[in-house]
Structure 1
Amino acid sequence: MPTIGNSVLARNPTPSLQGDLATAGTTNVVPLAQHVIAHTGPQSEPQGGTGGLVGRAAELTLVDRLLAEATTRSAALYLTGAPGVGKSALLDVAAQRAQNRGFRVVRAAGAQFDRHVGFAGLSQILLPLTAELASLPVRQARTLEVVLGLAAGEPEELSTVAYAVRELLFRIGTTSGPLALIVDDYGWLDRPSASVLGTVARHAGIGRVVLLAASRRDDALLPERGTRAHEVPPLDATSALKLVTERFPDMTSAIRRRLLAEAEGNPLALLELPVSLSLAQQTQQTRRCALPTVLPLTERLRTVFSERVAALPDTARKLLLLAVLDDTGDLHLLSRAGAAPGTHSELALSELVRSELSPAEHAGLVRVDARAGRLEFRHPLTRSAVMELSTGAERRWAHRALADVLPEGSERRAMHLAGATVGPDDRVAALVHGAAHTTLRRGDSRTAVSALLRASELSGSGTDKARRLAEAAFLSAHVTGDLGDVRALLDEAAAVDPSGVTSPAAAAAAAGELLHWDGDADGAYRLLVDAITDHVPGDQADDVMLGEALHTLLTVCSAGGRPELWQSFDTILARHRPHTPDPLLPVLRGALGDPAHAALPVLPRLDGLISGLHRQTDPTAIVRTAAAATYVDRLPGCRSALLRVVDDGREGGAVASAIPALLLLADDAYAGGRWDDVAELTDEALQRCASHDYRLQAWRGRMLQGLLAAARGDDETARGTADRLASWSNPRGLGAPRVHASHIHALSALGRADFESAYRHLTAISPGHRPAPHVPHALRLIWDFTEAATRTGHHDEAAAHLAAVREAGVPALSPRLAMITEAATALADPHGVDRELFDKAIATPGAERWPFDLARIRLGYGERLRRSQASVAARPHLEAALKTFDRLGAAPWSARAAGELRASGQAPAPVRSAGGVDVPLTPQEWQTAQLAATGLSNKQIAAQLFLSHRTVAAHLRGAFRKLDITSRGGLRDALTGIGREPVNRPERRAV
């Protein structure tokens, strides 16, 4: 009789299985089913759908092929894998697919309580087939009736039973249609049943029978050879993310990442772990809803992951508990902590591994490398199982044992002492408080908040408890992004110590909530000034928080932008500086508070801080340093550190620090001409502002988006953004957003050559004779003001402004400011073209780092040369400017450059579509249409291109006819994708 299995397949494999399943039969376990997929070409949805399974296309294809094979000959396959990996779910879908193909399906499952009952598993298969027993020879029918208990007598030998079962299945498959035997938990079958089914799988006949069984990968009953097996792997990262996202759409990304890491692709864990979490924990509504260090298990997960842990000897289980709480995998530490009570001897590693940990290693729970001195849990949820099976007393013992062997003063020792302590203990509370600050300096803000909350719980006095709660509130407002926690923490602090509400920590926390949530700068200012004025220096921890209150006050002054705020700040800072040795405070005051007049003296200290950012781990210090670098053009040196802050925020760490980090990176990208990055970074920052209620932070992102829209000619968006900034900031007394709104309006006006409007908006920011004090953004507008003033006849104001810029030493702040000052001075000269100054500006080392600024300088230089009848000399500058504007997508500026180039006697390159197809517009028609699309009237276009308005109208009529439009309203859409040449823009990259 021909047999099932690889003997037949190896000799004569079916075409659909040739080269994959046939080969799989020669080994016990098929590697990940990519081996199968590799020969099938593009994957399509397997017949019958996925049954709701995610990421199992390979396994379902394998099942389909098995069923296809079994329609002509018998076949068998064992699915193996870790508990919870989804073997049972695959069997369910396989059963449905078999029925859809016309198979008769018989199911069975092993059970622990039936493992010692002879033929219990086989009976599940035979009982639905009792009607067919009559088709067998009498002896074989009698043998199976005895097995089923339908007849008296002793069961025959296993080989006889196996032969009878094989014959029965063969007859059914041949005469009644294909038969599918699906057996779950094969490893829990009784041994006689497993033996019979193994024999049937290896030596069954050619009848149309398929056996599909599932078992754990370490099942001892799995046939050793002669049968095909496929190990079901954990889900890949993409499939695991899809499964969790579909089932739990409201879960925050940080919590989702934590669950993905803990589950390691195990589908049961992915679906069950969230069940043990509250909705507040899933959405991380507040810091009090943070996840525990070790996630709790549901009953189903406990059954899967706790079984082998519970079977361990007590000594092994306690060592695993130490390993869970230590979380370093250091066997040397475990050997010291696990030494017998009352002794000081360290367990030898060899003894620890051989005697104490070997049961856990043999059970497949851990990997132990004695040579490297490391222990690793095979699955993260084993840690949860160990914790679930431990008592409170055992956990306190383990914390104490670990604390006893860790060095004095270490963070880990302090936190283990906290875990071992019940009730208030001021000594331990002080240690944990100190550990919180050390953790914060290391960059782990969320752990720092947790440590402060634990320190408050351990505090014996109300004053200490309130102080630590206020510090946790401060970090929640300014670092971790948990504004929702601030009020509750401050209320709790006030309840235990009402006098603590005026402490610097409490004031900084409350001011942060007012400022970030609603932009209430005046309310935040009053809170901070009162608390700082009342503070009595002395306590080191309080002095640290005094420094944080001063930093918060500086933020208020920066947002307010009013001179009287800064004057008060200077008085307070002078009084308290001896007690706040933070080097960043004076640097920020000079470089951010009033860079035009006060940055020069602090630049050496700022450069030193920037050079050390690669070693800096505190996200707050990184963001503050980068903020100081913003207006003195040192942001490029902060990029890598800012990216680290952003990455930490994306992982759920310092979320409130990640928002300004994103905006600082966007600011740097705007100056550097990476404008696609600006859009991506500001979009992410604004999304985080919205989800965490950081409304004040959003204005800087909107400012950058408004500037980008203005530079690219989207005047409607630019105008709307500027108007929203102004309407939001005016009732709140916030000067900085108003300045940014005026900048957007001015840049938009300059792009369309409306110099009168630009001048009006710019003089609203700075008086004509000098850059306004305490308005750092004025340094960004030196060229803008000079161009608007000279083009509107305000030559004296332009000269006075530039004289004040030079007198303040602004050119010494950065090469960019030196370049702009030189070029603006040349532009403001009413008597001729100062080629020496223009050339000096353009030759600034590294000038290409600021492409938009450099292109505008070249445009201004070209305009002056062309109007002084030096057209030939003007063309290279105009061409270079035009090329840069095209690359950036700065359409209004491209139109201005193209107009000047045409006026110089050189036509721009032919007009082409983005695909390289010629468009039948003349260069003059294209220039005119581009300017009209930005909203300029015919007279304004004529003034810019030095044409008559009648000529402009004629060009527009020609453009309308060729573009098949009838009005200016259709110009923007008609010109989309059209340029002088195909534009090669840099690819957008993830930041």
Structure 2
Amino acid sequence: MLTGRADDLELIREFVDRARLSGGALLLSGDAGVGKTELLDAAAVHAHAANTRVARAAGVEFESAVGYAGLHQTLHPLLDGLHALHTPYRSALSVALGLEHGAPPHHLMVSNAVSALLAQAGTRRPLLLIVDDLPRLDRASALVMGLVARRLRAGTGADADSGGAAGPGTGTGRVGFLGAYRSDEGGFFDGGGITTHHLRPLDPAAAEELVKDRFPTLTPRVRTRLLSEAQGNPLALLELPIALTGTRRTTTAIPEVLPLGRRLQTLFAARIEALPPTTRLLLLCAVLDGTGDLHTLQAAATHIGAGPAGIEELAHAERAGLVHVDDTTGRLTFRHPLTRSAVVELSTSDQRRRTHRALADHTADRPERHAWHLAQATVEPDEHVATLLEQTAHAVLRRGDADGAIAALLRAADLSRGRQRSRRISEAAYLGADLTGDLRDVPRLLEDARRADGGRAGPLAAAVAAAHHLLLSGEGDLDTAHRLLTGAIDMQHQPYDATDTTMIDALHTLAWVCHGAQRPELWKPLDRATALLTPHIPDRLALTLATIADPARTAPAALALLDETIATLDRETDPVHIIRTAMAAMYADRLADCRTALRRVLRDGRDTSAITLELQGLVFLSRDCFAAGDWDQLDEHTEQGRRLSATHNYQLLTTDYTYQRALVAAARGDTAATRALTDEMTLWAAPRRVGFALSGASHAKTLAALGQGRYEEAYRHASAVSPAGELAPHVPTALFLVMDLVEAAVRTGRHGEAAAHATAAHEAGIAAISPRLRMIVEASAALTTPEPHAREHFRRALSTPTADRWPFDHARVRLAYGEHLRRTRATTEARTHLTDALDTFQRLGARPWAARAATELRATGEPAAHTHNAGTASLTPQQREIAHLAAAGLTNKQIGERLHLSPRTVSTHLHQLFPKLGITSRAALRDALATPTHHTPDDNATVKP
């Protein structure tokens, strides 16, 4: 029985009983020594009694740098079911666990495979996973286990009957996850959303009962002192008296008050010091090995001077209650994690090195473990060991564990000199900046790399990492990043090796810099560098350059390759390749085809805490949402992106979210928001000469001015991006403003400029890039061409296949055609196009454009009733629910909490529904909702009684 834990035991047993029927996840937290491990033991006993299979594991400090070590320990008893999984899952899990070689699996794929394996085990017999000391799990294992546990908590996972297909699972309904961690420790395990039971210290009565029961000979005075020092911590209550030998149990000679963790380690140390030296050496070997494998300990025993008795000497530690051998797995386990810490603290550095050397000899067939043990056994720089550790870094990186790779590279750098040291530090900095998005250590690492290289400019990887730091951090210094990259590239031996991934990454990063600046002169060094690549420019780099540098002139020739690349995205596992493909698709209007892959990047970024990838995924999904007219979803994406960017100070990416929000505000006629957002962009971008942000601000201002009839202002902003009569080189934003500039020029009497710009767009051949651009080019020609040719251009524009995938642009062309038809007195046909345009603008909430369409429709003689709001019948179900909640007096925040929406999304819906109800404020909602909807029939329709 666990004294004072009746309620906690009941909770644990109820969880185990519930989990064996319907699955679930539960976490235990609490201070060191509070009894978490004892409760886990109790859960295992209860599970065994209920015929539930138990798989146990614990985080190991030494293994925290070895990718998927914790996962291997957890799943080891279940691996006999690996062969029954579908091939993709079996392969992903085998590669992650080091059982096979293959392409590096993503954490999400590994998580799906683990869920499938658990589901399969659960169909045969209820299964309980118990994982102690979660903060000490290696990052890769922690991320996978966190995702699996959250799925078990939510009642979803992989279905064993379908071989592991994602979706609601029948097998996972019999799988439970029970984990424990110290409240004061961090770690990579994400338990968000999982029920957590915080284990508190024992209350005074229970603490006194425990001490009296276990140590009845203590005098009341000593017992009172001990209870005061222990503060209800069960481990301290049980361990402190052990140190009180002889007369100390009858006095107040209790150890001096120390922080709880330190005091407990001291107590463990006292017990360890009483063991024979050979036993302590074997315990040290067990700690540094981390697997608990008795065969490994036996093999290493002779190398560390453990004597002829070998592991039999561990019996002393077992009798002392420090370790025990699990009857199920046959592995040695420590009864409390603090025992391991104390064992290491009591050892000498020489003993630790000799032990690591012995373990290295025994793990020669396991390269990663071998390299790490050698590294820990080595003091002086050793290029052989450093090379092995660098190979380990690349191996774990191929498995998707960037953090494990960084740790290995930095340890390899510690064992290196000169340029090799600089190169390895630089690569670690680059991985931190490019993959994990963690920029905090980048400046320090780059300075270390510079000093290691004798103060020179540093290798190419350092330049790439520094560029990422300058771009992503608050600096956003494009010019410095450009100088840094071009200088580092020029230092490399020519011709450049096209298979050198660092060089290719540097060129991709330089392309990103040039795109951000939108200045032709910055592209010239990049063009020179790519011309020196041998044997040829890689396809993905060629695609990026063709589609973002000057797409008006170079994109058409690359479209076939772009479409082929996009077609492979569903099978693409590298998120960096997905992001780069999406960037290439951006100006070619193909982001919709990348949508599924980008959402996968978003999910993986969240699951793996790869902030940079998640933020970039949000950028492209936001742009796709604007094009597709899904402006409410855009609001969600940009809000999330801005929040993450602000947290990590990623101002350059924040500006792209601001750009998309400014476009929506402009289209919806929110003048104040448009001004605030574009001012924010301009104030940040102007001193840094960030061209894409400045042209984006002009784009939004142009759209706002056009919608509200301020055509002179619209012309000024549009021509600031690209002068009339040309598509400015290396300013891809100009592709979004072709029709805007032409319309503004026509409306201000600049017919020559309008015609010149329409002609330039036609002659550039941009109509071949996408259906949207074909529609825009034809519509621009129509605006500058007299009848009857104008009508033919409009018809070709609107007959463009799939052009309605861009609803706002499509509606603008319909509006322009309707206006043209009305002026040429083709009123019946005009009404059709104007009505369709009005419907789309109203659905999007583009009020100024809806007002223009409504005005034109009335000018055709259409009865006013046709432009009246349709009342509540025109509301979507979600808008209707929001309207009723707002009418009841709830705030946007309260409505959002009830409907699981952001306050900004609620505000957007209200802006859209006000015009539909014919009101302008919340105060009028109650009456508008109470008014019956009236349908006014068309004058020409047959009215039935």
**Distance in structure 1 (CA, Å) of the matches to 2:507 and 2:197:** 49
SS at match of 2:786: coil
CA contact (8 A) 1:402 1:416 kept: no
Aligned: 1:911 with 2:872: no
Q: In the TM superposition, what whole-angstrom CA distance separates every residue of 1:684-741 from its partner, at most 9, and x where no partner exists?
A: 2222222222222221111111111111111111112112212222222222111011
Indicate the residue corresponding to 1:827 in structure 2: 783
In the TM superposition, what are the counterparts of 1:272-287 in structure 2 within 5 Å? Answer: none
Indicate the residue corresponding to 2:624 in structure 1: 668
TM-score between both structures, scaled by the size of structure 1: 0.58
**Distance in structure 2 (CA, Å) of the matches to 1:883 and 1:902:** 14
Indicate the residue corresponding to 1:112 in structure 2: none
CA contact (8 A) 1:729 1:738 kept: yes
- In structure 2, do the counterparts of structure 1 residues 337 and 892 end up closer, same or farther at CA, with 3 Å as the change threshold? farther
Aligned: 1:640 with 2:596: yes
Indicate the residue corresponding to 2:409 in structure 1: 452
SS at match of 2:440: helix
In the TM superposition, what are the counterparts of 1:48-87 in structure 2 within 5 Å? Answer: 83=38
Indicate the residue corresponding to 1:533 in structure 2: 490
Q: In the TM superposition, what whole-angstrom CA distance separates every residue of 1:736-755 from its partner, at most 9, and x where no partner exists?
A: 11101100100111111222
**What letter matches 1:784 in structure 2?**
D
Give 1:840 deviation, angstroms.
3.4
Percent of aligned pairs with the same residue? 38
CA contact (8 A) 2:294 2:332 kept: no
**Distance in structure 2 (CA, Å) of the matches to 1:376 and 1:896:** 78
**Distance in structure 2 (CA, Å) of the matches to 1:367 and 1:767:** 80
**What letter matches 2:482 in structure 1?**
Y
Indicate the residue corresponding to 2:224 in structure 1: none
**What letter matches 1:689 in structure 2?**
S
SS at match of 1:599: helix
SS at match of 2:534: helix
The answer for unaligned runs of 5 or more in structure 1 is: 1-23, 36-53, 57-79, 88-216, 218-233, 276-295, 327-333, 344-351, 918-958, 965-969, 983-991
**What letter matches 1:609 in structure 2?**
T
CA contact (8 A) 1:483 1:693 kept: no
TM-score between both structures, scaled by the size of structure 2: 0.60
**Distance in structure 2 (CA, Å) of the matches to 1:270 and 1:801:** 77
Give 1:776 deviation, angstroms.
0.9
Give 1:859 deviation, angstroms.
1.8
Q: Which residue among 854, 877, 892 is the counterpart of 1:898?
A: 854
Give 1:307 deviation, angstroms.
12
CA contact (8 A) 1:685 1:701 kept: yes
- In structure 2, do the counterparts of structure 1 residues 269 and 558 end up closer, same or farther at CA, with 3 Å as the change threshold? farther
Indicate the residue corresponding to 1:863 in structure 2: 819
Q: In the TM superposition, what whole-angstrom CA distance separates every residue of 1:273-305 from its partner, at most 9, and x where no partner exists?
A: xx9xxxxxxxxxxxxxxxxxxxx988779999x
Indicate the residue corresponding to 2:695 in structure 1: 739
In the TM superposition, what are the counterparts of 1:878-889 in structure 2 within 5 Å? Answer: 878-889=834-845
Indicate the residue corresponding to 1:756 in structure 2: 712
Give 1:657 deviation, angstroms.
2.7
Give 1:442 deviation, angstroms.
4.7
**Distance in structure 2 (CA, Å) of the matches to 1:845 and 1:413:** 60
**What letter matches 1:260 in structure 2?**
G
**Distance in structure 2 (CA, Å) of the matches to 1:446 and 1:810:** 44
Give 1:583 deviation, angstroms.
3.1
Indicate the residue corresponding to 1:711 in structure 2: 667
CA contact (8 A) 1:742 1:762 kept: yes
Q: CA RMSD in A?
A: 5.3
In the TM superposition, what are the counterparts of 1:144-155 in structure 2 within 5 Å? Answer: none
Indicate the residue corresponding to 2:427 in structure 1: 471
**Distance in structure 2 (CA, Å) of the matches to 1:442 and 1:616:** 15
CA contact (8 A) 1:759 1:788 kept: yes
Indicate the residue corresponding to 2:191 in structure 1: 260
The answer for unaligned runs of 5 or more in structure 2 is: 1-8, 20-25, 29-34, 43-129, 131-148, 155-178, 203-229, 234-259, 303-310, 876-913, 934-945
Give 1:261 deviation, angstroms.
8.6
Indicate the residue corresponding to 1:847 in structure 2: 803
Indicate the residue corresponding to 1:430 in structure 2: 387
**Distance in structure 1 (CA, Å) of the matches to 2:392 and 2:932:** 61
Aligned: 1:687 with 2:647: no
**Distance in structure 1 (CA, Å) of the matches to 2:373 and 2:619:** 39
**Distance in structure 2 (CA, Å) of the matches to 1:338 and 1:507:** 45
Aligned: 1:396 with 2:351: no
- In structure 2, do the counterparts of structure 1 residues 748 and 413 end up closer, same or farther at CA, with 3 Å as the change threshold? farther
In the TM superposition, what are the counterparts of 1:517-532 in structure 2 within 5 Å? Answer: 517=473, 518-532=475-489
**What letter matches 2:799 in structure 1?**
A
- In structure 2, do the counterparts of structure 1 residues 382 and 264 end up closer, same or farther at CA, with 3 Å as the change threshold? farther
Aligned: 1:490 with 2:446: yes
CA contact (8 A) 1:631 1:779 kept: yes
SS at match of 2:38: coil
In the TM superposition, what are the counterparts of 1:309-328 in structure 2 within 5 Å? Answer: 324=290
Q: Which residue among 459, 477, 482 is the counterpart of 1:503?
A: 459
Q: Which residue among 506, 526, 530 is the counterpart of 1:573?
A: 530
Give 1:595 deviation, angstroms.
0.7
**Distance in structure 2 (CA, Å) of the matches to 1:645 and 1:588:** 19
**Distance in structure 2 (CA, Å) of the matches to 1:526 and 1:270:** 59
CA contact (8 A) 2:282 2:297 kept: no
Indicate the residue corresponding to 1:618 in structure 2: 574
**Distance in structure 2 (CA, Å) of the matches to 1:591 and 1:335:** 59
**What letter matches 2:447 in structure 1?**
D
**What letter matches 1:638 in structure 2?**
C
**What letter matches 2:697 in structure 1?**
A
CA contact (8 A) 2:354 2:377 kept: no
**Distance in structure 1 (CA, Å) of the matches to 2:421 and 2:498:** 13
Aligned: 1:799 with 2:730: no
Aligned: 1:628 with 2:584: yes
**Distance in structure 2 (CA, Å) of the matches to 1:261 and 1:886:** 40
CA contact (8 A) 1:337 1:404 kept: no
Aligned: 1:544 with 2:501: yes
Q: In the TM superposition, what whole-angstrom CA distance separates every residue of 1:233-288 from its partner, at most 9, and x where no partner exists?
A: x99969xxxx999999xx9xxx576263999945249999xx9xxxxxxxxxxxxx
**Distance in structure 2 (CA, Å) of the matches to 1:908 and 1:434:** 72
**What letter matches 2:191 in structure 1?**
L
**What letter matches 1:479 in structure 2?**
L
- In structure 2, do the counterparts of structure 1 residues 33 and 722 end up closer, same or farther at CA, with 3 Å as the change threshold? same
Indicate the residue corresponding to 1:553 in structure 2: 510
Indicate the residue corresponding to 2:6 in structure 1: none
SS at match of 2:730: coil
CA contact (8 A) 1:673 1:888 kept: yes
CA contact (8 A) 1:766 1:772 kept: yes
**Distance in structure 1 (CA, Å) of the matches to 2:187 and 2:409:** 25
Provide the aligned length of Structure 1 versus Structure 2. Answer: 665
Deviates more, 1:648-657 or 1:447-456: 648-657
**What letter matches 1:717 in structure 2?**
A
Aligned: 1:584 with 2:540: yes
